[in-house]
């Protein structure tokens, strides 16, 4: 695992990472185009990964999980899976992402009830429902202070009653548990934000039709979610006033960090395709990749990937050292996670475009897979506020430093 340098030292984590890479190479790569069109192929792949332990990797051994909590390892696993298909990688990642609020709040009621179901051999899914029809990425913008949230949760006795609508969440309609970002008072700020868990089949919970998308067509299901007087126990709120906001911001930080290796897995796969393709195509009596012009293009692709990987791994190492760098939802780590995502997404887009230039019409053809990786990676660049909000979070983290060091 030289690709990840000295950022991962646990022998157990390296062994698990090796197992995942072998599965991707031997089982996912031969069917990666089918993952774009056949749900049964996706089900088989994910079922195999569940048997390997991918679904329970982020949970404590107390519940039957593998206890893999290192951010560097989580990121490396994400990249390896995304090299095969980033939708598959996302599907496995949203489970601990969905339950992060409950775990961060040490909510034993939620942890005891829901974590064990993800630590068995049955394939499952989670969903973190954030975006709403009118606001787009506003909820992810800390400057909005949660005031744009329209999904409302009202306490009625010992139950929360939820009404509202969510758009675009991954896993919608197929998830076993939904973490819903809502507000207890639309006129209040952060303290009114609530993370409330809703099990599937709860009365009043319904869904729209699956979105027709450019990429991740099969492996990532997105629909609207409707809440019509959905009732859940009072204990199903992750933390409480103020706490849920902090947990949500940490979720955004983690989401942006893991987006970097997710998009970069696409870039790595494309680089491998280009290197192989240009070895077997000739002009001027030698392989395409041996000509200086094309070799320089491939070198720039590799340099971009290596630097983006080093960047996200260094930020992940900061996530592992909370005493020194703070929490993922705070300005310092949020900025660095956002920067890693922005840079990795830009690198991936460039790598895919250069690959098409090097491969000509074949790069545009489905049989050579580059176009699939380009389509799949684009949504990663857009989600969680996109490159624009990400850049804003990056630069704003520098302002207090500059002000304090005049």
User: pLDDT-based confidence at 401, cuts 50/70/90?
Assistant: low
Q: What is the pLDDT of residues 82-131, one digit of tens each?
A: 999 999 999 999 999 999 999 999 999 999 999 999 999 999 999 999 99
Q: Which of 57, 103, 101 is nearest to 80 (CA)?
A: 57
pLDDT of residue 405 exceeding 80: no
What are the structure tokens assigned to 344, written together?
């990795």
Residue 398 has pLDDT above 90, yes or no: no
Cβ neighbours around 303 below 10 Å, total: 11
pTM of the model: 0.95
How would you classify the pairing of strands 177-183 and 126-129?
Answer: parallel
Per the CB < 8 A criterion, the answer to whether 123 and 46 are in contact is yes
Q: Containing H/E element for 244?
A: helix 243-279
At 259-270, the pLDDT tens digits run 999 999 999 999
Give the C-alpha separation, 133 to 151, whole Å.
Answer: 10
State yes or no: pLDDT of 400 exceeds 80: no
- For residue 184, the 8-state DSSP code is S
218-234: average pLDDT: 97
Q: Tens digit of pLDDT for each residue in 165-212? A: 999 999 999 999 999 999 999 889 999 999 999 999 999 999 999 999
Domains of the chain: 2-118 (1.10.540.10), 126-240 (2.40.110.10), 244-404 (1.20.140.10)
Provide the mean pLDDT of the chain.
95
Q: Of 355, 360, 357, 389, which Cα lies nearest the Cα of 374? A: 355
DSSP notation for 295-354 = HHHHHHHHHHHHHHHHHHHHHHHHHT-HHHH--TTSHHHHHHHHHHHHHHHHHHHHHHHH
């Amino acid at each position: 695992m030289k690709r990840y340098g000295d950022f991962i030292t646990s022998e157990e984590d390296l062994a698990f990472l090796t197992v995942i890479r072998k599965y991707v190479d031997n089982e996912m790569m031969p069917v990666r185009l089918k993952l774009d069109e056949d749900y049964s192929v996706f089900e088989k792949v994910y079922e195999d990964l569940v048997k390997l332990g991918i679904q329970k990797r982020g949970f404590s051994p107390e519940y039957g999980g593998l206890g893999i909590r290192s951010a560097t390892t989580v990121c490396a696993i994400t990249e390896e899976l995304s090299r095969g298909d980033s939708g598959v990688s996302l599907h496995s990642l949203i489970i601990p992402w969905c339950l992060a609020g409950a775990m961060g709040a040490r909510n034993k009621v939620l942890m005891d009830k829901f974590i064990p179901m993800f630590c068995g051999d049955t394939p499952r899914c989670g969903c973190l429902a954030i975006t709403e029809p009118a606001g787009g990425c506003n909820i992810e913008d800390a400057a909005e202070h949660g005031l744009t949230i329209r999904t409302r949760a009202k306490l009625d006795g010992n139950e929360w009653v939820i009404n509202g609508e969510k758009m675009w969440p991954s896993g919608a309609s197929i998830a076993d548990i939904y973490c819903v970002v809502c507000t207890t008072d639309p006129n209040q700020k952060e303290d009114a934000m609530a993370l409330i868990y809703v099990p599937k089949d709860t009365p009043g919970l319904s869904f729209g039709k699956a979105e027709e998308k450019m990429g991740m067509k099969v492996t990532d299901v997105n629909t609207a979610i409707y809440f019509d007087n959905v009732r859940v126990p009072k204990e199903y709120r992750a933390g409480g006033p103020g706490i849920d906001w902090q947990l949500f911001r940490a979720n955004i930080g983690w989401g942006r960090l893991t987006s970097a290796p997710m998009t970069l897995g696409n870039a790595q796969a494309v680089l491998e395709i280009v290197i192989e393709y240009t070895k077997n195509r000739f002009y001027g009596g030698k392989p395409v990749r041996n000509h200086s012009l094309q070799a320089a293009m491939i070198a720039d692709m590799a340099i971009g990937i290596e630097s983006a990987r080093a960047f996200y791994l260094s930020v992940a190492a900061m996530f592992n050292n909370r005493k020194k760098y703070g929490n993922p939802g705070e300005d310092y780590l949020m900025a660095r996670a956002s920067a890693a995502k922005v840079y990795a997404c830009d690198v991936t887009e460039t790598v895919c475009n250069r690959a098409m230039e090097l491969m000509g019409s074949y790069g545009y053809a489905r049989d050579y897979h580059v176009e699939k990786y380009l389509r799949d990676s684009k949504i990663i660049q857009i989600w969680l506020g996109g490159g624009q909000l990400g850049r804003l979070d990056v630069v704003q983290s520098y302002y207090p430093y500059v002000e304090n060091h005049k």
